[in-house]
Chains A and B, each alone.
Chain A
């Protein structure tokens, strides 16, 4: 809880104090400052230790890796700023990909139609998560854990029922596939390097979310709801709408990544995605979002995903023993969070 005190007891901040704070101090109070420091440290680390890491191709792979984490992590970060979190996001990605593939194939529709119907389904999942939360007042941990299990079962059961196997049929020859692939999973030549379409979309989404958080009333609402729900309600913030909207935001991002998954591989296996929900949460946390809500940023989630992408790929570029892969990853992430925490506390102290 960052600001638990109701507005009335907060002494009015004198204007001059804000002026007195230096530019550096203000920068240090930003949520993503710790992640920036960690990202630079990890980049330098692998730049020195792993020669292949220095190439543009490597950067392209790292960015791609970061984008497939970062897209959903962005939705998750906004949700966490709003004080909730979502364990169903990993399997929701698979659910969105499966429904899109099956609707297109079984009904012989243009794949764009399948993707659109799948979007409606994904948003409905997000809505149900949020609606259940505001109606039952149960912790989001329990609600979304239930959704996680339900989706896991439904993904498997429905796929088996519809296709007779546990993977969807290949849709690569269907109408609209080429354009959908270009849109969701194509290559973008930038001259000096080629990046995946998902990277471009990721950056666009981060920009939109940053604008939403920092420049709109909705952004203020999100921070208020995550900081203190009751005082937010007292000053007229539509808490229920904000929370449901945030869950639908996660669902939207999950849908997008699901479409990337589908159009990149043309088929989807029903068991995918389990475990990824934690990676999204880790990326949001490394990027400065607080587990307790009310603090964080969109750019921070992007940095968190970038750190994750650099670490996973960097270990490979460095050519380290693969048996230790997960251990390296864990240590790297812990260090990132510690650096993050250190910078954040020293920033608050200076305030």
Chain B
């Protein structure tokens, strides 16, 4: 009896040792699974001001990629450049495997990202900083070339017989918004900027309305964010202006407005793709040594949404993916 029990115990022990020893420390399907997901922690650090639907799409894309690739995504944000740099430093300190950052205030955030790169953490820039990202040793960039996007919008305005264009800036001192308006101005002369307070939508509507009353010669209004676009359509309706409303960025309401013609077209930089590709490309880099774009930025826009393709796209805006 005793010997039987002893034999059984030995057998169990041996089997356990064998099972443990059988786990190869190198290669194999187990290791591959780990290498291709579980073990990667990616930090995404943006300059989002809390509660903006645009950034919600960026994050939705990043989370989708993280789920598909089994990546542990750590999202954080701060609109203040210095604080955003601290968040990057936090990510370095917690030894993440990769960082994805926006470079809206590149002078402040860039050096922190450079420290990450020097510490052997691959970095991807996205959404903003298309001019500056190579300066900090960042290998890849996903986003829209804001000046190019502005130029493309301006070209369409000029083709459509644009006279005087109003470009509405809803965040004071934002480099990317200024770049868009500068782009519009480059191809549509007679463009004038208007500063509004993006945190107060009635104020946005009132200010655009006042401008349309002041200058009846305005033929086009370009807004740079989806909620601002809707305020502009209301301002237009109330001031009796005939100006066409054009916007950057999309949401379900803008899609509906494009469908019924209140908004002529939207210049979409596809934020969902920006978030998605930042995580995807870091994963490819970590697991397969890839680098996308060959040192050049990969553009996610401008993608035009107008009456010709809105039917197809509207459903995606409802899903928060466009």
B215 engages A273 (CB within 8 Å): no
B214 engages A52 (CB within 8 Å): yes
Say whether, besides A52-B214, A57-B239, A61-B213, A273 and B206 are in contact (CB < 8 Å). no
Q: Which residues of chain B have C-beta atoms less than 8 A from A323's C-beta?
A: 193, 195
Chain A CB within 8 A of B211 CB: yes
Pair count A-B, CB < 8 A: 114
Nearest-CB residue, chain A, relative to B256: A170
| Complex interface bits, B219-238 against A, C-beta within 8 A gives 1, otherwise 0 | 00000000100110010001
Stretch at the interface among A233-241, A284-292, A314-322: A314-322
Contact of A58 among B203, B213, B215, B238 (CB under 8 A): B213
Smallest CB separation, A325 vs chain B (Å)? 4
Say whether, besides A166-B51, A167-B53, A270-B51, A275 and B199 are in contact (CB < 8 Å). yes
Say whether, besides A165-B320, A322-B194, A272 and B199 are in contact (CB < 8 Å). yes
Smallest CB separation, A65 vs chain B (Å)? 4
User: Interface residues of B, CB < 8 Å — how many?
Assistant: 38
Chain A CB within 8 A of B50 CB: yes
Contact of B210 among A164, A269, A272, A313 (CB under 8 A): A313
Smallest CB separation, A110 vs chain B (Å)? 22
Nearest-CB residue, chain A, relative to B252: A170
Q: Which residues of chain B have C-beta atoms less than 8 A from A316's C-beta?
A: 194, 207, 210-211, 214
B53 engages A166 (CB within 8 Å): yes
The answer for the CA separation of A160 and B56 in the assembled complex, in Å, is 9
Stretch at the interface among A35-43, A100-108, A258-266: A258-266
List residues 247-289 of chain B with CB under 8 A from any CB of chain A.
Answer: 251-253, 256
Chain A CB within 8 A of B169 CB: yes
Say whether, besides A267-B253, A269-B227, A322 and B239 are in contact (CB < 8 Å). no
Nearest-CB residue, chain B, relative to A319: B214
A61 engages B199 (CB within 8 Å): no
Q: Which residues of chain A have C-beta atoms less than 8 A from B55's C-beta?
A: 166
The answer for the CA separation of A155 and B199 in the assembled complex, in Å, is 14
User: For chain B, what secondary structure do more than half of its interface residues adopt (helix, strand, loop), or is it mixed?
Assistant: helix
The answer for the CA separation of A235 and B121 in the assembled complex, in Å, is 70
Chain A CB within 8 A of B202 CB: yes
Contact of B207 among A50, A57, A313 (CB under 8 A): A313
Chain B CB within 8 A of A301 CB: no
Smallest CB separation, A316 vs chain B (Å)? 4
The answer for the CA separation of A326 and B203 in the assembled complex, in Å, is 14
Smallest CB separation, B242 vs chain A (Å)? 15
Smallest CB separation, B272 vs chain A (Å)? 12
Smallest CB separation, A167 vs chain B (Å)? 5
A312 engages B51 (CB within 8 Å): no
Q: Which residues of chain A have C-beta atoms less than 8 A from B206's C-beta?
A: 61, 64-65, 68, 309, 312-313
B50 engages A265 (CB within 8 Å): no
Q: Which residues of chain A have C-beta atoms less than 8 A from B50's C-beta?
A: 152, 156, 270-271
Say whether, besides A272-B199, A323-B195, A312 and B207 are in contact (CB < 8 Å). yes
Nearest-CB residue, chain B, relative to A94: B51
Chain B CB within 8 A of A200 CB: no
Q: Which residues of chain B have C-beta atoms less than 8 A from A265's C-beta?
A: 201, 227, 230-231, 234
Smallest CB separation, A133 vs chain B (Å)? 26
B169 engages A322 (CB within 8 Å): yes
Say whether, besides A156-B51, A270-B51, A276-B200, A61 and B56 are in contact (CB < 8 Å). no
Q: Which residues of chain B have C-beta atoms less than 8 A from A152's C-beta?
A: 50
The answer for the CA separation of A61 and B211 in the assembled complex, in Å, is 10
List residues 88-117 of chain A with CB under 8 A from any CB of chain B.
Answer: none
Question: Shortest 5 CB-CB distances between A and B: which pairs?
Answer: A271-B51, A270-B51, A322-B195, A52-B214, A316-B210
